[in-house]
């Protein structure tokens, strides 16, 4: 038996340590440690509730839009604010831009290098690479020039983040031609991320940490000219997703079909829902609210959430709902049998729950299959989550088997399929907003508070998972503020009953070919985008 510590985990946003025990070539136990305490809840006490919109975004530089929206939703509920339809559409657009930015960044920049080997790409036959790109339906590039550029980096020792990795690891399985295609798209993805960020800059003033989706609605006032600029950029990003991200996913997946057999996790999935529909019903959001145990769907409310701290560095009470939550830090050193993480053990209905694109797509798939979901057919040819999932299962040779999603490979595929869905929606929303601007049929973009005292829960979805902000406002000042961030769910340590969190459980049973180079474990870790 070998004990392997991965500290720090790289290519993520944040600070993470993972320890695994490997016996007989498989992981038999795991401990996931959040190694940073943010303490934003303490920063916000006694401030005006609108301050929370700006400050809480600093929890994350990759998904600040989602934190800002969750914060605004909590303040709006507490202060009796009803948001207008115009503000709803603008918020949907800026959130969509962040999703597309984050999903492209995650797949190509953060996760793909666990499966794609740029060094192996150097032995690709250029003619065969063009032929493969055409056969796979993915976009071509100047593959010869890219190979030459890559070779110069290798020769000069300037591979930057590509250096110091295990490129000779036997778990890499792609042919060099596919490695070259994916490497070319890795470079192009950097440009596409910038395009998505430009959309956020137009709508939110800047990125990261937008300025406009304040409690009450939005400070952005759309014009046809601005919306044309936004539509041009959304279409450019959508084209990259349709001609690179999705074809690359389908081309790479067959070489890693063994990843259907592990990385499954706890089998419980939470989505608070994201992208508002006209009725502001969380269960009818374009990605709806729901809690799934396996492939069985049920409703979920904020009162279903608790946080255990028996294995976390806090001396707060354990088992509290965030509405009554406490954040009292108490670092006592790393102890795998005791306290070992700054993450609290978030639980839904008493169970550990995975959050993120896989959870959202599972909930959306089940809701659509049972007729409970909003079907955006009024927008025309939008590929709904069920259509996207079913067509992908068919392409992979497992039609009608959605349980295949509950795996490492499914977690990766679900995120990219969600990107395609959000790209479709974003174009439809821009066109809808353009129509309203031309016809003068919008109902304004901002609404004022009706009280200065109340409690609220802003339940929303960031690209990497469910985010909840709980606020207690008394006399215009924040009395208590609690955040359950997306990664809190997934990196949760053991709870008071010693039940592992989602990422810990997903690591159990993972094959490890070389304990000194646990690439397979890192694939699972980064699939959650912690």
Contact between residue 495 and residue 346 where contact means Cβ atoms under 8 Å apart: no
DSSP string, 365-400: HHHHHTT-S---GGGSS---HHHHHHHHHHHTT-TT
Kindly state the tokens that stand for 141: 């590039």
Q: Crossing angle, helix 357-369 and helix 385-395, to 10 degrees?
A: 100
How far, in Å, are 95, 117, 403, 457 from residue 252 at the CA level?
28, 12, 20, 40
Per-residue pLDDT of the chain (530 residues; tens, 9 = 90+): 899 999 999 999 889 999 999 999 999 999 999 999 989 999 999 999 999 999 999 999 889 999 999 999 999 999 999 999 999 999 999 999 999 999 999 999 999 999 999 999 999 999 999 999 999 999 999 999 999 988 887 787 666 666 667 989 999 999 999 999 999 999 999 999 999 999 999 999 999 999 999 999 999 999 999 999 999 999 999 999 999 999 999 999 999 999 999 999 999 999 999 999 999 999 999 999 999 999 999 999 999 999 999 999 999 999 999 999 999 999 999 999 999 999 999 999 999 999 999 999 999 999 999 998 776 765 667 889 999 999 999 998 999 999 999 999 999 999 999 999 999 999 999 999 999 999 999 889 999 999 999 999 999 999 999 999 999 999 999 999 999 999 999 999 999 999 999 999 999 999 999 999 999 999 999 999 99
What was the pLDDT predicted at 162?
63
SS3 call for 143 = helix
Alpha helix locations (H) across 343-474?
357-369, 385-395, 408-439
The C-alpha angle with vertex 102 and arms to 100 and 106, in degrees rounded to 5, equals 120
In this structure, the number of other CB atoms found within 10 A of the CB of residue 349 comes to 16
What was the pLDDT predicted at 233?
98
Q: What is the dihedral of CA 114, 116, 122, 128, to 10 degrees?
A: 170
What was the pLDDT predicted at 150?
87
Nearest Cα neighbor of 331 from 308, 309, 359 is 309
What was the pLDDT predicted at 159?
62
Q: For residues 96 and 422, what is the distance between their CA atoms, to the nearest angstrom? A: 6
**Which residue(s) pair with 291 in the sheet?**
270, 298
Q: For residues 58 and 61, what is the distance between their CA atoms, to the nearest angstrom? A: 6
Q: For the domain that residue 21 is a member of, what is the CATH number?
A: 1.10.645.10
Kindly state the tokens that stand for 29: 């136990």
How much of the chain is helix, strand and coil, in % rounded to 5? 45, 15, 40
Contact between residue 150 and residue 183 where contact means Cβ atoms under 8 Å apart: yes
Q: For residues 215 and 212, what is the distance between their CA atoms, to the nearest angstrom? A: 9
Q: What is the pLDDT of residues 349-385, one digit of tens each?
A: 999 999 999 999 999 999 999 998 776 765 667 889 9
Alpha helix locations (H) across 105-245?
126-136, 143-155, 176-204, 224-240
Number of structural domains the chain divides into:
1
Q: What is the dihedral of CA 146, 150, 156, 160, to 10 degrees?
A: 120
What was the pLDDT predicted at 51?
97
Q: What is the pLDDT of residues 99-156, one digit of tens each?
A: 999 999 999 999 999 999 999 999 999 999 999 999 999 999 999 999 998 888 778 7
Q: Which residue segment(s) compose the domain that 475 sits in?
A: 2-527
What was the pLDDT predicted at 483?
97
Q: Is the dihedral angle over the CA atoms 486, 490, 494, 500 positive or is it negative?
A: positive
């Amino acid at each position: 038996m070998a004990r392997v510590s991965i500290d720090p985990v790289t290519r993520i946003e944040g600070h993470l340590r993972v320890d695994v025990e490997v016996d007989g070539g498989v992981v038999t136990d795991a401990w996931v440690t959040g190694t940073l305490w943010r303490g934003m809840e303490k920063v916000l006490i006694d401030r005006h509730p609108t301050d929370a919109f700006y400050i809480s975004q600093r929890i994350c530089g990759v998904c600040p839009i989602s934190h800002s929206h969750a914060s605004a939703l909590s303040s709006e509920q507490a202060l009796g604010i009803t948001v207008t339809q115009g503000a709803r559409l603008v918020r949907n657009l800026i959130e969509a831009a962040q999703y597309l930015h984050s999903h492209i960044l995650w797949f190509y920049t953060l996760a793909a290098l666990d499966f794609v080997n740029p060094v192996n790409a150097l032995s690709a036959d250029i003619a065969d690479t063009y032929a493969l790109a055409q056969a796979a339906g993915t976009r071509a590039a100047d593959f010869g020039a890219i190979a030459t550029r890559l070779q110069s980096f290798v020769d000069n020792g300037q591979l930057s983040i590509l250096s110091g990795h295990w490129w000779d690891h036997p778990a890499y399985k792609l042919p060099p031609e596919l490695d070259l295609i994916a490497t070319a798209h890795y470079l192009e993805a950097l440009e596409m991320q910038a395009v998505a960020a430009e959309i956020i800059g137009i709508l939110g003033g800047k990125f990261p940490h937008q300025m406009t989706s304040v409690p009450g609605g939005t400070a952005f006032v759309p014009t046809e000219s601005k919306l044309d600029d936004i539509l041009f950029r959304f279409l450019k990003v959508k084209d990259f997703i349709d001609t690179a991200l999705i074809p690359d996913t389908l081309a790479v997946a067959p070489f890693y079909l063994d990843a259907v057999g592990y990385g499954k996790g706890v089998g419980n999935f939470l989505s608070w829902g994201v992208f508002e529909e006209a009725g502001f019903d969380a269960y009818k959001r374009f990605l709806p609210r729901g809690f799934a145990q396996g492939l069985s769907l049920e409703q979920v409310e904020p009162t279903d959430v608790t946080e255990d701290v028996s294995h976390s560095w806090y001396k707060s009470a354990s088992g509290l709902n965030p509405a009554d939550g406490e954040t009292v830090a108490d670092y006592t050193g790393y102890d795998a049998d005791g306290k070992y993480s700054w993450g609290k053990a978030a639980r839904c209905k008493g169970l550990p729950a995975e959050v993120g694109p896989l959870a959202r797509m599972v909930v959306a798939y089940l809701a659509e299959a049972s007729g409970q979901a909003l079907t955006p057919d009024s927008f025309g040819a939008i590929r709904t989550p069920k259509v996207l999932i079913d067509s992908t299962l068919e392409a992979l040779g497992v039609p009608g088997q959605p349980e295949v999603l509950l795996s490492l490979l499914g977690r990766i595929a679900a995120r990219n399929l969600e990107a395609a869905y959000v790209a479709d929606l974003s174009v439809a929303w821009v066109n809808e907003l353009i129509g309203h601007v031309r016809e003068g049929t919008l109902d304004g973009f901002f609404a004022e508070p009706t009280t200065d005292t109340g409690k609220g829960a802003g339940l929303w979805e960031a690209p990497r998972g469910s985010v909840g902000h709980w606020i207690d406002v008394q006399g215009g000042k924040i009395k208590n503020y609690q955040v359950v961030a997306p990664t809190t769910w997934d990196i949760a340590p053991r709870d008071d009953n010693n039940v592992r969190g989602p990422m810990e459980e997903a690591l159990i049973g993972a094959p490890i070919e070389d304990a000194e180079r646990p690439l397979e474990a890192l694939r699972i870790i980064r699939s959650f985008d912690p």
